[in-house]
Structures are given as C-alpha cells and as structure tokens.
Chain A
C-alpha cells in the first residue's frame, strides 16, 4: 500500500470484523531515534494461538470469500522492508495487539499518509458500534482523540452524523498540524 494509513485502515477493519467495540491506535514519530511506531490494540474476539503463529502467512485467512489473506502479511513486509519490526499478540476473547516499527528515514518507508481521513472515515462508517482512541506523538509532543469523550457530549446526536464527522476531521487535522509544528508529512 502506498501509505501506512491504508495499512492502519486495513487492521482496524479486521478489528471491527472481530467484533471489537474499542480500538486504540497509537502512532509515535520519534525522529531523534529514527523510529516510526504504529500500535493498534483491540478488544475483539482475538486469534487462537495455533493461528497466530501463521497469521502473517498470506495463505492463512479468516475470510471465507477467498483463500488468500494479505492484510497482515503486507503490513509485516512493509515494516521489514525498511529495517523495522513487526509483532502481533492475541488472546481469545480478550483482543489483539499489533505493533509495527519502521526506520523513520528509510528510503523505502511509505509515507504515513492521510491519517485524518482514515480515522474520520472509519468513525463515519462504524463510530456508533466501535469506539476509537487515537494518540499521536511527534517527538516530544502528543495529542489524543477519544470517541467516547465526544459521545459523552453528544446526547441524542450520532457520532456518525455529518456535522460531527466534519468537526472530528477538523479537530484531528488541527491537532496534527500543531504537534508537528507545521511540518508536512
């Protein structure tokens, strides 16, 4: 995938299909230590131990529509092809944790991409069922978005309604620009 945000979307769609109702995404950009780390944690159905060992094997998939599953395999290769690391841990009925690390300045590292759209589109489609916590760190700065906090303020309005999604987009966009000190992706 051309952007890491598309990998993130792919993973959180897995979480949603695994019936998670809370997904936590943490993105850390540590330029001083030349590291980009993406951590995604959910409280979904989890993956059995005998499956987790082979989960990044593209010929293993939980889908029934085809016999090849590439989402995690591609994310793993994306990390490993730029001197990074990939790890997945899971427990049945507890949830799944995916950690991908990239060498920040590696020439083959895909750009992070449009994470604002990834998050806001996901909430627009599934926000009523699934809560999302998104934390982004850029060197020493960070900000956190928590859909549960938004919902607490909303009373009768759905978090998936258009004006709320527009507000979320703006909120994330502004905060990202602020912690990055105006630096482009």
Chain B
C-alpha cells in the first residue's frame, strides 16, 4: 500500500506530502526519538505525539514511509518546511495511536 492509498482509506490529513507514492511496510509506535531511531524499520509508518523537527530527522534517517501525528497535535512550522525539503511525509489524525493501530491491523498493514 502507498501512503496516498493509506491517506484515502483512513481519512488522514496530509500536512506535508512530498512523496505520497512511498510504499508502506509495517508501523512503529513511540515518542522517545532515540528509541525510534534504534527500533523502527525502513518503510514503517510512525505513530507519535511529537511534532518538532527532530521527528523529521529521525524519519529521514530510518527512511520511514510517513509520520502520523496522533490526538490532534500539531507539527511545528520548521518541521513542515524541513519535511517538504527532505521528502518526508507528515500526516495527522485526531485518533489515538492505539485506535489507529487497531484499524491498521484489521487492514493487514
């Protein structure tokens, strides 16, 4: 599944979408960036409550397919700018990580 298809299917909001054709391979949930750096895998979606520019750096480093900011938190402006420059997809949702993850699971993501 591509990020574009995910956005349509789960009604996610695209905040920065420089590369929505990226293929998704699994998901990781966490808010401690160093741990995400160590444990998330290439192609993962990343569900988090963090919205600052370090998030974009981690997503770039691990080559994640997209970041999904949950619970209606907002990205910081410089994070959005960096994401557009570096080709990192930033999405958001009002749902909690658990609920979103459950719906992903039901769709075999």
- Write the residues of chain A forming the contact surface with B, with a CB cutoff of 8 angstroms: 1-2, 6, 57-59, 66-68, 70, 73-74, 77
Complex: A55 Cα to B35 Cα, angstroms: 22
| Number of B residues, CB within 8 Å of A | 15
Which of B1-9, B14-22, B40-48, B56-64 is the interface stretch?
Answer: B56-64
B82 touches A70 (CB 8 A): no
Say yes or no: is B96 at the interface (Cβ < 8 Å to chain A): no
Q: Nearest-CB distance from A8 to chain B (Å)?
A: 13
A77 touches B54 (CB 8 A): yes
What residues of B have a CB within 8 angstroms of the CB of A67 in the complex? 60
A73 touches B57 (CB 8 A): yes
A58 touches B34 (CB 8 A): no
What residues of A have a CB within 8 angstroms of the CB of B60 in the complex? 67-68
What residues of A have a CB within 8 angstroms of the CB of B54 in the complex? 58, 70, 73-74, 77
Given contacts A73-B54, A74-B33, A77-B52, 19 further A-B contacts (CB under 8 A): A1-B32, A1-B35, A2-B32, A2-B35, A57-B53, A58-B53, A58-B54, A59-B82, A59-B86, A66-B61, A68-B57, A68-B58, A68-B61, A70-B34, A70-B37, A70-B61, A73-B57, A74-B54, A77-B54
Complex: A73 Cα to B37 Cα, angstroms: 13
Q: List 13 A-B contacts (CB under 8 A).
A: A1-B32, A2-B32, A6-B34, A59-B57, A59-B82, A66-B61, A68-B58, A70-B34, A70-B54, A73-B57, A74-B34, A77-B33, A77-B52
